A and B are shown apart, each in its own frame.
Chain A
Amino acid sequence: MKKSCFIWILAGLFWMVSCTKDDRVLPLPVPEVSLGLYVMNEGVWGMNNSMITYYDMSSFVAVPDFFRVHNGRGLGDLANDLKLYGSKLYCVVSGSGQLEVLNPETGKSLARVSFIGEEGISREPRAIAFHRDKAYVCCFDGTVARLDTASLQIEARVSVGANPDGICVANGKLYVSNSGGSNYPNFDNQVSVVDIASFKEIRRITVGLNPFKLEVNALNQVYVLCRGNYSSVGSSLVRIDALTDEVSAIYPLDISNFTISGEYLYFYSVNWITGEVYIRLFHMASELVAEDSWIADGTVLSAPYGIAVDKNTGDVYLGDAGIEYGSNGKVYCFSEAGILKRTLDSHGVGPAQIVIRYP
């Protein structure tokens, strides 16, 4: 206990030295050490058991239910997104219709932003993205809300398409995936483009059925994961050129989730009929997909659920929901070469988001 306190203080000092007080993110130098790991566990619907687990990355000692132990109350039901921006950690809790903003070090809540709309109906916030001093939260009710990262107040809302389920920022614009997930089986297939300056929807780009997660690479290329309809239409990865807002490539891949790291895109998929799980690398420039599994040491995952890459070390963190969904998951840490370095308990159900804190 004493030891971990000391590490905490040390970590805090590091952070204070290396970070500006401004919430605006300035281009940071390449970080040297990673300080902590936040694992967001979705939990089970109706159980109010969304949890963040914090791992100090020097000792890998866990603080389970990091938010609750520091605030005397739980995160709520069905956390869906977790991101660190500036000096704040943002957790989008979809089922509870709120955004929790917390101090990443102390775990203390800085603000609880409610997304309960008029008539008391939740807007169902899903995902968050940032640009300069603003945060943008897309909600299943077809809107994107803009928050000031200093005041943590919602300033404006813009309407986009049906049931946005992913958001990212590229080339001064927001890209919002309109999943249409509440209108099963008639999913939507478009990405809304919102101009950040005017905060207006300027375009809709047809991608594939049921678009979900989006990420942008250094070349202003936005990759959209389209999940298909889970039966006749399979999943695909679609590339949007953020300079022209045109679809520049469609890759029909069996893909459940992905993340971009440098030149590569890591993606995974699970075949539930054969039980086969694979994690592969996609080289974005050459458009080549590695044929072999990226995991080099034969480690078998049962249900990969979240993925993140440590920018500092190149380590890849994979959340695994486990074969028995509803029980606590695991987080696997692999080296860049695909060798398992450590296995961590996620201390919660469904480790969907993994966030790394750098100095």
Chain B
Amino acid sequence: MKRLFCFVFLVCNGFWLSAGREIPNLLVGQQDSLLWSVELEEVKVTGRSLPFVSGASTPIQVLTKVSLQRLNVLQLSDAVKFFSGTAVKDYGGIGGLKTIGVRGLEAKHTAVAYDGVPVSDAQTGQVDLGRFSAENVSRISLSNADGGDIFQPARLFASGSVLHIVPESSLSFASDEWHVRTGLKVGSYGFAEPSLFLGKMLGNTVGTTFLAQFMTADGHYPFTLAYGASGDSTSREKRINTDVRTLRLESGWNIRRSDRSELTARLYWYASERGLPGAVILYNPHSDQRLWDQNFFGQFRFKQKVSSVFQWMLNGKWNWSYSRYLNPSVHNPQGKEENFYYQREYYLSGTVLYAPRKDWAFSWASDVFLNQLSVNFTGFSYPSRYTWLNAWAAEYSRGRWLWSARMLYTLTAEEVRTGDPAPGRTRLSPSLSFSYRILQDESLRFRAFYKQHYRLPTFNDLYYQRAGNSSLRPEVAVQWNAGLVYHKVWSGPLESLSFSLDGYYNQLKDKILAVPRRNLFLWSMSNIGKVNVTGLDVVTETSWKSGGHTSVVAGGTYSYQRALDETYPGSNTYRHQIPYTPLHSGSFRLAVHFPRTAVAYSCLWSGERYVLKQNLPENRLPGYVEHGVSVRSVFGKGKRSSVLQLELLNFTDQAYEVVRSYPMPGRNFRVSYTVEW
């Protein structure tokens, strides 16, 4: 039975089976070797099979497709909230921007990799996770620092943490028949999402997948508008101008001629139109701004294992994106503001891995890329940035020890059509990590890392009208981490237990902030910010089995983030908690699996946050707990099966905001029906 994990899950009698085989939320080792090869031997996972990677020295949190289904997740941003140490900035509703900051570092320090290749936005420096659907994702993982693998593109070493999104691959399909999955999700606020997924192996060497997904929602969810503090007036309102429509077409290809080499390629097209509801403004409910987005990319990866000691990999990508912003009610002669932005990226990366001995491995990754931004308005600088990254890494594993060290060299050169280009930058940034196996049976490890990285100024930071400042330097971040990780699997009723506890200290210097220049009407970006973060991440998961047919999976996270602004000593914000970063937050999830039905509960909890830099009562956003519950049932037997899932989200109807003036939806539901054959 050569089927991918998730399909085992979906095909009826694999349902409960897979539950017991739940991939732990946190991993002792690199997920590939640990997860896939142990449980599903037939599944050949590409990547090196060096034995010593199963003991990553940096924290990695993973959610698999099965876990995602239990978390009542529509967009990947919903899932990321269940990772410890994250702060997802969510502007509410399906169309609202959602970005992920990790451990007190904002979203611009988090890289997002789709199928192993970085997704980027040189204009804003952050990726909207709302545009990724959980539909065809096989797993997502969040790695702090460098992750557990030295064999990857240099760009994935260049940020504070990496969110990996791994879409479903075609390599898992049996025979050469079409594998079809089609479904419809409907829900509150005019939400509907039909999708079609096709996969097929063409002979033994070529596999292909297609995904078409359309989504529409009016998003007019009700909320309570507060006209002041608690005890003041409130009124019941509806969010307006929240409609969103997206279309996503995707195709993945795998060509594997032997176990030694593999080519994967992916084409991706995304188009959307949405209203931008904006902040809820007292006494002025008007909202009519709109945004259109299009994004196309093609990417490939070629991997070859030349010998038992040498592997190499080539990654490439061409990315084009377009966005059109319209504000149709501006008091200017045109009566509107309309901006078009076009971005292009050309990306090529080569990586070699040399493992001369069982205990030593070396890698060298070299990435070159070009980012360009053009617009429709005059006087813009039309920047082009050339970046060359080189990462040299070494990994040593012997006995109870695993050491990993890396040096990243960054070189940039910038060109503009008008104005001053940002000067070229060269930077060296090191990282070092190790893990030590405390117990003989691999279950308990100590791990620690140090990492320095630079965050290059975005095109908006450098060239934005009026506010841009082309002389900005990169932000400098230093991260320290030490922790314990425990993971053990048994054959009794208690199937597995995983636990990790990491303490960290992050320092951010030269943080790019908007400050007034010359007078308060004119602001500009400047390298003045300084933030120190002390935090703790706790992740735990356990699974239990009862009577062979029922299993229970429970997991939880807790995160403590004390992120203090140290920009201006003596100011009224000095050593205050930075905005939108809760001191305490966490999540909990529990799923009970019966042979044909699974019931899952999940909750997200966030302590209070501040919306401005000064930690005053009036700047406080109250904490919240959001609860969701779902029931999932599998029908049919054999080749054809169908799944019905009912989700009740925010069932306590908790009124809350993640971002001030952007209320979140209250109680709502989703129903999905999926047929697969």
Chain A residues with a Cβ under 8 A of chain B: 44-49, 65, 68, 72-77, 93, 95-98, 112, 114, 116, 119-122, 124, 140-142, 162-163, 182-185, 227, 230, 256, 269-273, 303, 305, 321-328, 349-350
Given known A47-B661, A49-B618, A182-B332, contact A325–B520 (CB-CB < 8 A): yes
| Across-interface contacts of B441 in A (CB, < 8 A) | none
Which chain B residue shows the least CB distance to A120?
B286
Tell me, in angstroms, the Cα distance from A183 to B518 when the chains sit together. 21
The answer to whether A323 touches B284, judged by C-beta atoms less than 8 angstroms apart, is: no
| Across-interface contacts of A72 in B (CB, < 8 A) | 227-228, 231-233
The answer to whether A77 touches B281, judged by C-beta atoms less than 8 angstroms apart, is: yes
The answer to whether A321 touches B521, judged by C-beta atoms less than 8 angstroms apart, is: no
Q: Is B428 an interface residue (CB 8 A)?
A: no
The 4 A-B residue pairs with the shortest CB-CB distance, nearest first, are A46-B279, A73-B227, A327-B614, A76-B282
Give a binary string over B649-677; 1 marks a CB under 8 Å from any A CB, 0 the rest.
Answer: 00000000000110000000000000000
The answer to whether B333 touches A162, judged by C-beta atoms less than 8 angstroms apart, is: yes
Which chain B residue shows the least CB distance to A140?
B331
Given known A73-B232, A74-B227, A323-B568, contact A112–B286 (CB-CB < 8 A): no
Q: Is B329 an interface residue (CB 8 A)?
A: yes
Could you tell me the distance in whole angstroms from the C-beta of B368 to the nearest C-beta in chain A?
35
| Across-interface contacts of B233 in A (CB, < 8 A) | 72-73
Partner of A256, one of B281, B520, B616: B520
Tell me, in angstroms, the Cα distance from A284 to B518 when the chains sit together. 25
Could you tell me the distance in whole angstroms from the C-beta of A133 to the nearest C-beta in chain B?
26
Tell me, in angstroms, the Cα distance from A303 to B286 when the chains sit together. 32
The answer to whether B284 touches A116, judged by C-beta atoms less than 8 angstroms apart, is: yes
Chain B residues with a Cβ under 8 A of chain A: 227-229, 231-233, 278-286, 329-333, 379, 465-466, 515-522, 524, 567-568, 571-573, 611-614, 616, 618-619, 660-661
Tell me, in angstroms, the Cα distance from A73 to B521 when the chains sit together. 29
| Across-interface contacts of A230 in B (CB, < 8 A) | 466, 518-519, 521-522
The answer to whether B231 touches A326, judged by C-beta atoms less than 8 angstroms apart, is: no
| Across-interface contacts of A323 in B (CB, < 8 A) | 568, 571
Could you tell me the distance in whole angstroms from the C-beta of B227 to the nearest C-beta in chain A?
4
Which chain B residue shows the least CB distance to A227?
B521
28 A–B contacts from the bound complex (CB under 8 Å): A48-B279, A72-B231, A72-B232, A73-B228, A74-B227, A74-B228, A76-B283, A96-B282, A96-B283, A96-B284, A112-B283, A116-B283, A119-B329, A120-B285, A140-B331, A142-B331, A163-B331, A184-B465, A185-B379, A256-B519, A270-B516, A272-B518, A323-B568, A324-B568, A324-B572, A327-B571, A327-B573, A327-B613
Could you tell me the distance in whole angstroms from the C-beta of A177 to the nearest C-beta in chain B?
14
Tell me, in angstroms, the Cα distance from A349 to B611 when the chains sit together. 13
Could you tell me the distance in whole angstroms from the C-beta of A75 to the nearest C-beta in chain B?
8
Could you tell me the distance in whole angstroms from the C-beta of A196 to the nearest C-beta in chain B?
24
From B232, B329, B518, B660, residue with most partner A Cβ within 10 Å: B518
The answer to whether A65 touches B519, judged by C-beta atoms less than 8 angstroms apart, is: no
| Across-interface contacts of A162 in B (CB, < 8 A) | 331-333
Which chain A residue shows the least CB distance to B283?
A96
From B332, B519, B524, residue with most partner A Cβ within 10 Å: B519
Tell me, in angstroms, the Cα distance from A323 to B371 when the chains sit together. 35
From B227, B279, B618, B661, residue with most partner A Cβ within 10 Å: B618
Tell me, in angstroms, the Cα distance from A333 to B612 when the chains sit together. 26
Which chain B residue shows the least CB distance to A304?
B520
Partner of A76, one of B281, B516, B568, B616: B281
The answer to whether A97 touches B283, judged by C-beta atoms less than 8 angstroms apart, is: yes
Could you tell me the distance in whole angstroms from the C-beta of B581 to the nearest C-beta in chain A?
15
The answer to whether A322 touches B518, judged by C-beta atoms less than 8 angstroms apart, is: no
Tell me, in angstroms, the Cα distance from A140 to B282 when the chains sit together. 18
Could you tell me the distance in whole angstroms from the C-beta of B331 to the nearest C-beta in chain A?
5
Tell me, in angstroms, the Cα distance from A269 to B329 when the chains sit together. 33
The answer to whether A68 touches B228, judged by C-beta atoms less than 8 angstroms apart, is: yes
The answer to whether A141 touches B518, judged by C-beta atoms less than 8 angstroms apart, is: no
The answer to whether A46 touches B515, judged by C-beta atoms less than 8 angstroms apart, is: no
The answer to whether A273 touches B333, judged by C-beta atoms less than 8 angstroms apart, is: no
| Across-interface contacts of B614 in A (CB, < 8 A) | 324, 326-328
Partner of A321, one of B279, B520, B612: B520
Could you tell me the distance in whole angstroms from the C-beta of A274 to the nearest C-beta in chain B?
10
The answer to whether A327 touches B612, judged by C-beta atoms less than 8 angstroms apart, is: yes
| Across-interface contacts of A328 in B (CB, < 8 A) | 572, 614, 616
Tell me, in angstroms, the Cα distance from A136 to B285 when the chains sit together. 24
Given known A68-B229, A324-B571, contact A95–B516 (CB-CB < 8 A): no
Could you tell me the distance in whole angstroms from the C-beta of B288 to the nearest C-beta in chain A?
8
| Across-interface contacts of B616 in A (CB, < 8 A) | 328
The answer to whether B660 touches A121, judged by C-beta atoms less than 8 angstroms apart, is: no
| Across-interface contacts of B612 in A (CB, < 8 A) | 44, 47, 326-327, 349
Tell me, in angstroms, the Cα distance from A269 to B283 when the chains sit together. 34
| Across-interface contacts of A163 in B (CB, < 8 A) | 331-332
The answer to whether B286 touches A116, judged by C-beta atoms less than 8 angstroms apart, is: yes
The answer to whether B520 touches A68, judged by C-beta atoms less than 8 angstroms apart, is: no
| Across-interface contacts of A141 in B (CB, < 8 A) | 331
Tell me, in angstroms, the Cα distance from A47 to B285 when the chains sit together. 14
Could you tell me the distance in whole angstroms from the C-beta of A44 to the nearest C-beta in chain B?
7
Which chain A residue shows the least CB distance to B337?
A182
Could you tell me the distance in whole angstroms from the C-beta of B231 to the nearest C-beta in chain A?
7
Tell me, in angstroms, the Cα distance from A271 to B619 when the chains sit together. 29
Tell me, in angstroms, the Cα distance from A327 to B516 when the chains sit together. 14
| Across-interface contacts of B516 in A (CB, < 8 A) | 270, 272, 303, 325
The answer to whether B283 touches A121, judged by C-beta atoms less than 8 angstroms apart, is: no
Which chain B residue shows the least CB distance to A349?
B612
Which chain A residue shows the least CB distance to B572?
A327
| Across-interface contacts of A116 in B (CB, < 8 A) | 283-284, 286
Given A74-B227, A321-B520, 4 more pairs with CB closer than 8 A: A46-B279, A47-B611, A75-B282, A230-B518
Given known A256-B520, A303-B516, contact A326–B613 (CB-CB < 8 A): yes
The answer to whether B519 touches A269, judged by C-beta atoms less than 8 angstroms apart, is: yes
| Across-interface contacts of B618 in A (CB, < 8 A) | 49, 65
Could you tell me the distance in whole angstroms from the C-beta of B236 to the nearest C-beta in chain A?
15
Could you tell me the distance in whole angstroms from the C-beta of A186 to the nearest C-beta in chain B?
8
Tell me, in angstroms, the Cα distance from A11 to B343 when the chains sit together. 63
Partner of B519, one of A46, A97, A270: A270
Which chain B residue shows the least CB distance to A46?
B279
From A96, A116, A121, residue with most partner B Cβ within 10 Å: A121
| Across-interface contacts of B232 in A (CB, < 8 A) | 68, 72-74
Tell me, in angstroms, the Cα distance from A248 to B516 when the chains sit together. 33
| Across-interface contacts of A140 in B (CB, < 8 A) | 331
Could you tell me the distance in whole angstroms from the C-beta of B377 to the nearest C-beta in chain A?
10
Which chain B residue shows the least CB distance to A230?
B522
Tell me, in angstroms, the Cα distance from A48 to B611 when the chains sit together. 12
| Across-interface contacts of A121 in B (CB, < 8 A) | 286, 329
Could you tell me the distance in whole angstroms from the C-beta of B27 to the nearest C-beta in chain A?
40
| Across-interface contacts of B330 in A (CB, < 8 A) | 182
The answer to whether A273 touches B521, judged by C-beta atoms less than 8 angstroms apart, is: no
Tell me, in angstroms, the Cα distance from A345 to B255 when the chains sit together. 68
Which chain B residue shows the least CB distance to A95?
B281
Could you tell me the distance in whole angstroms from the C-beta of A51 to the nearest C-beta in chain B?
8
The answer to whether A273 touches B332, judged by C-beta atoms less than 8 angstroms apart, is: no
Tell me, in angstroms, the Cα distance from A120 to B379 when the chains sit together. 33
Which chain A residue shows the least CB distance to B225?
A48
The answer to whether B567 touches A324, judged by C-beta atoms less than 8 angstroms apart, is: yes
| Across-interface contacts of B332 in A (CB, < 8 A) | 162-163, 182-183
